[in-house]
């Protein structure tokens, strides 16, 4: 049997026997339910995209983005990104972490904003701030919806601050 014949036999569409009212009604109901499932999925995806577009703004750090997500423990977001190999601490022996972007995610998920600081009494130095890109925001948002971001203990289980969307995104 040729590939073309196999494809045709695999696609053999069976039409219901319209002379049998029960079979015709069942076929109509199956088609109607399938269409409803597709429309519901499309609606959920549109809400997801709209909600993500409302959350993301150019120039946000990952922590600032996560502050817009209900229930995320933002004090642990940078450590989560470090464990995901997105960030590393440029000052591991210091009192405060100085987060830098790892090369494998730079320019796809995150970038860095550098600022030169010149205090009058000390030598000048450069600070770096991770800046979230659109693909990075999508990745973080998916982790959020899957419950994989660090969450607050007092989190109410709602995935959004927006009351209209609170039931429809999950």
Spell out the domain ranges in the chain: 19-55, 58-145
Cα Rg, the chain, nearest whole Å: 25
How much is the pLDDT for 17?
74
Q: At what angle do helices 21-55 and 134-145 cross, to 10 degrees?
A: 120
User: In this predicted model, which residue has the larger pLDDT, 99 or 20?
Assistant: 99
Taking the CA of residue 93 as centre, how many other CA atoms within 13 Å lie in the half-sphere pointing to its CB? 0
How much is the pLDDT for 148?
93
How much is the pLDDT for 106?
94
Q: Cα 160 to chain center, whole Å?
A: 13
Q: What is the mean pLDDT of residues 78-102?
A: 92
Task: Grade residue 162 by pLDDT with cuts at 50, 70 and 90.
Answer: low
Instruction: Write the CB contacts of 65 (distance below 8 Å, at least 6 apart in sequence).
Output: 55, 56, 132, 137, 140
């Amino acid at each position: 049997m040729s590939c073309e014949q196999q494809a045709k036999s695999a696609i053999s569409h069976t039409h219901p026997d319209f002379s049998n009212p029960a079979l015709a009604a069942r076929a109509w109901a199956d088609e109607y339910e399938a269409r409803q499932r597709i429309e519901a999925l499309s609606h959920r995806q549109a809400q997801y995209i709209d909600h993500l577009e409302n959350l993301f703004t150019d120039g946000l750090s990952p922590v600032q983005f996560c502050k817009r997500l209900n229930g995320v423990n933002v004090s642990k977001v940078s450590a989560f990104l470090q464990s995901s190999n997105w960030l590393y601490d440029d000052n591991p022996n210091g009192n405060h972490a100085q987060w830098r972007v790892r090369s494998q995610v730079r320019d796809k998920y995150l970038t860095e904003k550098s600022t030169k600081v010149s205090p009058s009494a000390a030598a000048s130095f450069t600070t770096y701030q991770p800046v979230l890109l659109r693909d990075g925001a999508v990745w973080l948002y998916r982790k959020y919806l899957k419950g994989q971001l660090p969450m607050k203990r007092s989190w109410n289980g709602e995935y959004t601050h927006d009351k209209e969307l609170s039931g429809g995104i999950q």
